[in-house]
Each structure stands twice: as structure tokens, then as C-alpha cells.
């Protein structure tokens, strides 16, 4: 499955206002619920925080992919957020996180959920892509970079 099938420019927060881990998760969860009103914000935030207790979803290189499964989710849901100043997210490399992809999957999703996590990770391995996402002026430019990279795989 392609990222472009899930992510639209309206799903992108080009400048997260939050500076702390839980606040960023709250802000990203609010975007999910804004775009998918059938999902419960408080429940999603609880699921994300529980997942973070298992180990940080900050994978290194300024990237975090918080994720969780919800009964109400009818399919995969993806939002993107960017913090220009970076957030202490307890990432594996102890660096601040600037780029966030939040993925929500239905409870019974296994394979597709893991494939999407891998796809996001693969696209963001390229330092030039990460740099482009950090320097993009707005959501449309961020979306264009993601769409172009997604089409290469």
C-alpha cells in the first residue's frame, strides 16, 4: 500500500506547536480525529501513550512513527507532523525528533500495518529526503516530497 493512498495535504501539520512528547501525541491525535471524526481522541491518545511505554517510537535520525490499533478504525489512518525545533521523544539515538508519522490501524490489521511502518522507514532513510521535509515551506511542499518518494518504491 502506498502512503499516497492514506496521506493528503490536509493530514499534514507543517509546524507542530507542541514541544513535549505527550503534547505532540495529543496534537497529532487531534489531527487524526479532525480528519476521521469516528475515532475517539481520548482513546487514541491513551493507545499511543501505552505504546510509548513499551519503547519509544522515535526510531532515530529525527524521526518518530507513533502508532497504535483502534477498534473503530475502518482502515489505516496516517497523519504527518513536523517540529522545526525538535522534540525530546526518547528516540533510540537520543536525538530530538522533527518528523512524525502517526499511523492508526484497525485492531485486526497485522501485515498491512507492518508494511506501512516499513515503507515510511524506508522513505525516510535518505538524509536528503529528511532535509527536504525539514526545509519545505508548507504542507503542500511536504506532501509533494512524500508523494514523489512514495512513487519510487
Tell me the three cell numbers of residue 64.
518518530
Q: Specify whether the CB–CB gap between 14 and 46 falls below 8 A.
A: no
The CB-side HSE value for 82 (13 A sphere, CA atoms) comes to 21
Q: Which of 36, 41, 67, 113 is catalytic?
A: 67
Q: Chain-centre distance of CA 128, in angstroms?
A: 19
Instruction: Please indicate whether residue 67 is annotated as part of the active site.
Output: yes
Burial of 140 (0-12, 13-18, 19+ CB in 10 A): exposed
Q: Which residue has the cell 525530546?
A: 88
User: With 0-12 CB in 10 A as exposed, 13-18 as middle and 19+ as buried, what is 108?
Assistant: exposed
The span from the CA of 95 to the CA of 28, in Å, is: 20
- Catalytic positions, written as ranges: 67
Amino acid at each position: 500500500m502506498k502512503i499516497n493512498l492514506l496521506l493528503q495535504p490536509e493530514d499534514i501539520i507543517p509546524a507542530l506547536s507542541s514541544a513535549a512528547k505527550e503534547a505532540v501525541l495529543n496534537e497529532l491525535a487531534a489531527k487524526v480525529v479532525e480528519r476521521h471524526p469516528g475515532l475517539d481522541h481520548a482513546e487514541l491518545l491513551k493507545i499511543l501513550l501505552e505504546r510509548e511505554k513499551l519503547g519509544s517510537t522515535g526510531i532515530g535520525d529525527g524521526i518518530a512513527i507513533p502508532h497504535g490499533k483502534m477498534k473503530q478504525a475502518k482502515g489505516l489512518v496516517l497523519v504527518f507532523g513536523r517540529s522545526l525545533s525538535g522534540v525530546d521523544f526518547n528516540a533510540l539515538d537520543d536525538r530530538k525528533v522533527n518528523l512524525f508519522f502517526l499511523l492508526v490501524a484497525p485492531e485486526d490489521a497485522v501485515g498491512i500495518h507492518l508494511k506501512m511502518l516499513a515503507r515510511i522507514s524506508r522513505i525516510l532513510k535518505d538524509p536528503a529526503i529528511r532535509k527536504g521535509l525539514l526545509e519545505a515551506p508548507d504542507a503542500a511542499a511536504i506532501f509533494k516530497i512524500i508523494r514523489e518518494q512514495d512513487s519510487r518504491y
